[in-house]
Amino acid sequence: MTASKRIVLSSDHAAIDLRRAVAEHISAQGWEVVDIGPQTPESTHYPKHGRAAAERVASGDCRLGIILCGTGQGIMMAANKVAGIRCGVCSDTFSARMIRMHNNANMLSLGARVVGEGLALDIVDAFLSAEFEGGRHATRVDMIETPEG
């Protein structure tokens, strides 16, 4: 399978159950899931999981990534330190669509302590079904990617 249908998932210990639900949900939609998150509930550090998933996307090994922690914030911050990553935390479907359509986000972050499973799966669907619109948005994405902004 090519990277076009490969998606990396990772989380810290706080989001293992939701990550597994997301993996099952998107696998049923034909995505090849590369789950690199922890398998046991012992405390672990979200920055290493965010960075590891982001590196899979930045390298081209996976087209997209979904990362999770308690709030989604910390793991998102770690992922965004990797060059070429545009990751946003979403707790609603509108934002999930817009980060793909307007910001060409290649990663989604979710807070397992913020959204329930049903909403999380809807957010994932919104993110995965949206496409980048380009045009004036491409200029803005280029400004994000350029250090001079």
Give the catalytic positions in this structure. Answer: 69, 102
Q: Listing from the earlier edge strand, what are the strands of the sheet with 87-89?
A: 32-35, 6-11, 64-69, 107-111, 87-89
Cα of first residue to Cα of last residue in the chain, in angstroms, is 36
Angle at 21 between CA 40 and CA 56, to 5 degrees: 75
Calpha distance 115→60 (Å, rounded): 29
